[in-house]
Amino acid sequence: MHSFQRFLILLAVIVFPVAASAQKLDTAKLDAALGRSGQKIGDVYKFGFPRTDLQVSVHGLAIKPGLALGSWAAFTGTDADAMVMGDLVLLEDEINPVMEKLHSSGIEISAVHNHLIDETPHVMYLHYMGHGAASQLATGLRTALAVSKTPLEKPESAAENTALPAWVDTVEDALARKGNYKGGVLSYGVPRADSITMAGTTIAPAAGVAEAINFQSADSGNVATTGDFVLTAEEVNSVISELQAHHILVTALHSHMLTEQPRLFFMHFWGQGPAQDVAAGMKSALDKVHTR
């Protein structure tokens, strides 16, 4: 082997890993900027900011943060060219101060609306998206969150779940899917079978385009469920029919994004009753959606 060929091989060994790492998010920098660790889900690096400061109830049932009070941010791309998408849980008087800070950081607002009905106190949900340097997006998001009462200190490590309550098995059997049980909440993120794109970029399910279904225990051995279905126009009324047939309320129908393809509608819901009945209703509705 000629010395020049050896030099090229050596150069490739040195340069290619550096180039590859430059194409990834520096998750340690994001952790430092946001004051907590994120979770790697495929190509998505996701942060949770549960509103543990809020005591929200629906018809007297205390809502666990993991059921419907979880602000989040999902980062994709590279350090130099990142995208962040997410959803912030806010009280009414927090909406415009937070929105102003996001806007001043170059982060766009894509929706402001309810997810629940009849909750006390009333909470709203602000959806956002931004493009740019990952560190700048993270700093802008942290600045915006700081004008709300969202807890920003590093959360304590959650205790490991030991014995699962019986209703978890009931729900998982009815849905024929394993969920993630944490903090008293059984959660599902069911990906759509079709690709969702925005500005030519494919949006990963974990960035907010998966069917989100959450359950927690309720009174008298029952369960409560809420979340959102991510639907095309053709699916909307079929899902409504199944939910109504199983006495599950539709609480909102709206958009979360601005330029996605295909166009999507997000349907929020609330159900409460025996685990078998509630889970059967969710399964019937899911069967009307083009999921994996």
39-41 sheet: strands from edge to edge:
39-41, 44-50, 70-77, 82-91, 123-132, 108-113
The rounded distance, in Å, linking the Cα atoms of 101 and 59 is 34
Is the pLDDT score of 13 beyond 60? no
Tokens of 224: 């409560």
- Are 26-153 and 163-292 the same fold in CATH? yes
Structural domain boundaries in the chain: 26-153, 163-292
What is the rounded average pLDDT of the residues 198-215?
Answer: 96
pLDDT digits (tens, 9 = 90+) for 64-108: 999 999 999 999 999 999 999 999 999 999 999 999 999 999 999
Cis (ω within 30 of 0) for the bond into 262? Answer: yes
Band of residue 7 on the pLDDT scale cut at 50, 70, 90 = very low
The rounded distance, in Å, linking the Cα atoms of 47 and 75 is 8
Give percent of the chain with pLDDT exceeding 90.
87
Q: Kindly provide the b/e burial profile for residues 42-60, where b requires at least 16 CB atoms within 10 angstroms of the residue's own CB.
A: eebbbbbbbbeebebebee
pLDDT digits (tens, 9 = 90+) for 108-125: 999 999 999 999 999 999
Give percent of the chain with pLDDT exceeding 70.
90
The rounded distance, in Å, linking the Cα atoms of 64 and 47 is 18
| pLDDT score of 163 | 84
- Domain 26-153: assigned CATH number: 3.30.70
pLDDT digits (tens, 9 = 90+) for 154-204: 887 766 667 899 999 999 999 999 999 999 999 999 999 999 999 889 999
Distances (CA, A) of 54 to 32, 86, 89, 142, 221: 25, 19, 10, 19, 24
The model's pTM is 0.90
- Residues with Cβ within 8 Å of 100's Cβ and at least 6 positions away in sequence, in order, are none
| pLDDT score of 169 | 97
The rounded distance, in Å, linking the Cα atoms of 199 and 260 is 8
Q: What is the DSSP letter of 122?
A: -
**Strands 223-231 and 210-217, sheet pairing:** antiparallel
Interaxial angle between packed helices 275-286 and 233-245, expressed in degrees from 0 to 180 and rounded to the nearest 10: 160
Average model confidence (pLDDT) across the chain: 92
For the domain with range 163-292, which CATH number is right: 3.30.70, 3.30.300, 3.40.50, 3.90.1200?
3.30.70
CA angle 109, 207, 97 (to 5 degrees): 25
